[in-house]
Amino acid sequence: MRVLVVGGGMGGTIFANLLARRIQHEMKTGKARITMLSASHEHVYQPGWLYVAMGRATPDELVREQESLLESGIEFHVDPVEEFHLAENHVKCKSGKVHEYDLIVISTGSRPLPEKIPGLKENSINCYTADDAVNFFKQLSDFKGGRVVVTVGLPHKCPMIPLELTFAMHDFIKDRGLLDKTEFYYTYPIGRVHSLENVAKWAAPEFDRMGIKYETLFNMKEVDGKNAEVLSEEGGAVKYDLLVAVPPHKGQEVIEKNGLGENGWIPTHRASLHMEGEHGKNVIILGDTTNLPISKAGSTAHFEAETAAENVAAVIKIGRPVRSYDGKVFCFIEAGKDRATYAMFDYQNPPQPKAPTGAVHAFKMAYNKLYWASARGLL
């Protein structure tokens, strides 16, 4: 079986490594082959941008050579796919090279698009790229007091980031002795401070305790940079001195251009993770690229990749898949510079977050280093 993995992010990498380890014999005997195509030679640990924004990490700490993370035997090419020909079981890359497959895994991720909201890109800071995270730190470091407004677009990657940024900035400003000159104003699209009801029930009293003000049912419509004001679809208007954005996201342009899914999200079966539609039988979708109504997060991609790798190995060995994806997600929630909690949930069970502790924060800091073992499929 020729398995083609498109995308060298968390989902594609964990999938490829786990599968390679399960089908070592088949790969050695030429019965199976894994090829990965990526747009970059680098693999980035994206959750680390939060720490860059707070001056607690530098971008180089978050990057490894993609090839160094892959099991031996996985063929790797930096050559982004430009055309998907799913009916003919092949893709065409930027170089012009054509790759045929028996099974394709598409895990191309998502991208922030602050330019979708008029005025947002030029008047706000965010931490979704290395440059943006460094700029975030510089602007936060230069901040001398005033109103910090957090504004959140939909959909977005990393559902915990609005809370994490707010808590982290609070501690950052507090450590600089500027808390009495600073007002934090958090806005959120739905009628509570987080999408997860139990997380919102924990976070709102934390905000109250820290003096962080909040406004819910606030979906940013545009930013008026001249008057330093963010306007909402609901008719709200909030003045800011420093605007911190969680921009709306889309899937990759190549997905849209090939007509695989509106806004770059591919219709995906929630249990099998196969693409919906007539050509989905040998097409698996992982991570942010799915249109599933679950968190766009590395953790989601990780657990989906585990399920998919086990199933593909089983198909190769016994002719049929063995597991369904149950919607499992596990997200750490940094609750400031030295405390954290977590949310674990699936399609059936909501999370029950505990009070944040230093121990969970220490575990998160350790995980930031252990991630590279996770990407290799070892953790």
Partner 1 sequence: MSERIVDARGSFCPGPLMELISNMKMMSVGDTLELLSTDAGSAADVPEWIKKVGHEMLDTKQDGEGTWHIRVRKAK
Q: Which residues contribute to the site for partner 1 (CB under 8 A)?
A: 154-155, 159, 189-191, 195-197, 217, 219, 233-235, 248, 262-263, 270, 293-295, 327, 329, 343, 345, 347-348, 350-351
Q: For partner 1, give the closer residue by CB, 48 or 159.
A: 159
Which regions of 108-176 does DSSP assign to beta strands (E)?
110-112, 146-152
Q: Smallest distance, Å, CB 199 to partner 1?
A: 8
Four-point Cα dihedral 73, 96, 98, 254, nearest 10 = 90
Two tokens, residue 125: 């800071």
In three-state secondary structure terms, 67 is helix
Q: Smallest distance, Å, CB 153 to partner 1?
A: 9
Burial of 140 (0-12, 13-18, 19+ CB in 10 A): buried
Query: Is cis: bond before 356, omega within 30 of 0?
Result: no
Across the beta sheet with 2-6, the strand order is 75-78, 33-38, 2-6, 103-106, 283-285
Q: Smallest distance, Å, CB 190 to partner 1?
A: 5
Q: For partner 1, give the closer residue by CB, 66 or 219.
A: 219
Q: Are strands 182-187 and 213-215 parallel, antiparallel or unpaired?
A: parallel
What does the alpha-carbon distance between residue 268 and residue 157 come to, in Å, rounded to a whole number?
18
Q: For partner 1, give the closer residue by CB, 293 or 319.
A: 293
Two tokens, residue 257: 């251009």
Q: For partner 1, give the closer residue by CB, 7 or 155.
A: 155
Residue 172 sits at φ, ψ, to 5 deg, of -60, -50
Q: Smallest distance, Å, CB 280 to partner 1?
A: 16
Instruction: Indicate the residue type of 366.
Output: A
Q: For partner 1, give the closer residue by CB, 1 or 190.
A: 190
CA angle 45, 50, 55 (to 5 degrees): 110
Residue 13 sits at φ, ψ, to 5 deg, of -70, -45
Q: Smallest distance, Å, CB 57 to partner 1?
A: 26
Q: Smallest distance, Å, CB 213 to partner 1?
A: 19
Residue 253 neighbours by CB distance under 10 Å: 11
Q: For partner 1, give the closer residue by CB, 200 or 313.
A: 200
Q: Smallest distance, Å, CB 288 to partner 1?
A: 12
Q: Smallest distance, Å, CB 358 to partner 1?
A: 25
Q: Smallest distance, Å, CB 342 to partner 1?
A: 13
Q: For partner 1, give the closer residue by CB, 71 or 256.
A: 256
The sign of the CA dihedral 161, 251, 218, 299 is negative
In three-state secondary structure terms, 117 is coil
Bridge partners, 274 (sequence order)? 284
Two tokens, residue 322: 């063995």
Q: For partner 1, give the closer residue by CB, 40 or 349.
A: 349
Q: For partner 1, give the closer residue by CB, 139 or 263.
A: 263
